[in-house]
Chains A and B, each alone.
Chain A
Amino acid sequence: EVQLVESGGGVVRPGGSLRLSCAASGFTFDDYDMSWVRQAPGKGLEWVSGIDWNGGSTHYVDSVKGRFTISRDNAKNSLFLQMNSLRAEDTALYYCARVVATRPSVYYFDSWGQGTLVTVSS
């Protein structure tokens, strides 16, 4: 059974940093691209960042470029999101999601964690 378990969320002041982690199990981690998707309170889903199977290619939504860094440790079956210079608008539930990608036309999320809440507030 595929399991994705996020951790690392919390309350942080504007300008602060947090590092999110996602522990994966039940599948061969380095066979898959991975992503972070967030959901602000009462709002819709927003893709935040993606990384390919070996970490060689990373991508970000424009609003987090230069502030967030996605990475992975395939030996530990783990995905990370380093978030710096946090803003109030980054407040959201952050989901780790497994990606099925067959470029150039297929990219979807077939498994999701339960999310970790990030609150940016003074």
Chain B
Amino acid sequence: SYELTQPPSVSVSPGQTARISCSGDALPKQYASWYQQKPGQAPELLIYKDSERPSGIPERFSGSSSGTIATLTITGVQAEDEADYYCQSGDNSSTYGVFGGGTKVTVL
């Protein structure tokens, strides 16, 4: 079955840049999306179609994709960005939701 692979954790100091990778064989043909989930809350869409940001999402969140790797970048990390982040895409056979395992971002 199709899988998306993320690092389990990323640590970053306030004001620095955090980058979270997401690897998947279908990503050259499927758009990636990213979600933020804070403890006790539902996930929230951060990025869709690799790099588009929904209204209300701060500009410090950006996305990119090249080949089999999608990347979420948080520029100028703030304490409130401490959360779990999930990438998601379809796969080439079913185009349904497949999630990465999630990355816990810790703000030092």
Within 8 A of A (CB), among B28-49: 29-31, 33, 35, 37, 42-45, 48-49
Specify which of A95, A104, A107 is in contact with B43 (CB 8 Å cutoff).
A95
The docked-state distance in angstroms from the alpha carbon of A100 to that of B31 is 12
The docked-state distance in angstroms from the alpha carbon of A109 to that of B35 is 9
Additional A-B contact list (11), CB under 8 Å, known A47-B97, A108-B88, A110-B45 = A44-B84, A46-B99, A50-B96, A99-B97, A105-B90, A106-B48, A107-B96, A108-B33, A112-B42, A112-B43, A112-B44
* 14 A–B contacts, CB within 8 A, in A order: A44-B101, A44-B102, A50-B97, A104-B29, A104-B95, A106-B90, A108-B45, A108-B49, A109-B33, A109-B43, A110-B48, A111-B45, A112-B43, A112-B44
Binding site for A on B (CB under 8 A): 1, 29-31, 33, 35, 37, 42-45, 48-49, 54, 84, 86, 88-90, 92, 94-102
